[in-house]
């Protein structure tokens, strides 16, 4: 009886760990993972006013905010992964495909993570670790490409940072399923 009670507690802890890992990972997909900040010279603008650009990056979308000097309103442009502008706006044609692969890995991580809550297969618990690590690798690659044109001091956003506690929780759940 004590053995079955310990096993039940271990399974509950494993499921809660996986649920929290999935929720944190969902947050990493919802929040942007990086942003770029740079200035535009007045000589490059038709009106003769310079300004500041701020571009946020998700795996599935980019949002740019342009604040012209001397103007009260910002110009905001949103490109989603299904828009043609997404592939033109993201620097480099291959980087937009990296974002699409990242989105696919994020969806796969969530689907497999949720499935492993309900299915007690030990091997299945390994896949969220692998796909989450893939997302981290793709984010790091994208950041290295985007880093060259960035003036921001802390460009990493919550979407990037939330992947690390997620992968730790997925790893903990995997270890708990192996015991």
pLDDT of residue 32: 96
pLDDT of residue 161: 97
Compare 90 and 36 and report the one with higher pLDDT.
36
Structural Rg of the chain based on CA atoms: 21
pLDDT of residue 47: 59
Compare 129 and 121 and report the one with higher pLDDT.
129
Cβ pair 58, 162 in contact under 8 A: no
DSSP-derived letter for residue 45 is S
Enter the pTM of the model: 0.86
| Cα-based distances in Å from 137 to 19, 106, 108 | 23, 12, 15
Domain count along the chain: 1
| Cα-based distances in Å from 124 to 13, 98, 153 | 17, 25, 39
Q: What is the pLDDT of residues 136-168, one digit of tens each?
A: 999 999 998 888 767 777 789 999 999 999 999
Give alpha helix (H) positions in the chain.
2-30, 84-89, 93-118, 127-146, 158-161, 163-178
pLDDT of residue 88: 66
CATH number of the domain that residue 86 is part of: 1.20.140
Q: Which domain holds residue 56?
A: 2-178
Q: What is the pLDDT of residues 51-105, one digit of tens each?
A: 787 889 999 998 888 887 656 677 888 888 888 777 666 666 678 889 999 999 9
């Amino acid at each position: 009886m004590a053995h079955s009670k310990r096993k039940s507690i271990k399974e509950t802890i494993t499921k809660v760990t996986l649920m929290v890992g999935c929720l944190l990972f969902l947050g990493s997909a919802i929040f942007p993972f990086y942003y770029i900040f740079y200035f535009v010279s007045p000589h490059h603008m038709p009106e003769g006013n310079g300004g500041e650009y701020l571009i946020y990056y998700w795996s599935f979308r980019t949002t740019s905010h342009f604040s012209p000097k001397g103007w009260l309103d910002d110009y905001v442009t949103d490109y989603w992964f299904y828009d043609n502008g997404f592939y033109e706006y993201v620097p480099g044609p291959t980087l937009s495909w990296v974002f699409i692969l990242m989105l696919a890995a994020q969806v796969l991580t969530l689907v497999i993570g949720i499935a492993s809550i309900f299915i007690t297969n030990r091997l299945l618990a390994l896949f969220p670790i692998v796909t989450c690590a893939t997302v981290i690798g793709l984010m790091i690659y994208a950041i290295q490409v985007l880093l060259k044109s960035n003036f921001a001091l802390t460009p990493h956003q919550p979407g990037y940072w939330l992947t690390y506690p997620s992968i730790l929780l997925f790893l903990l759940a995997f270890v708990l399923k192996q015991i």
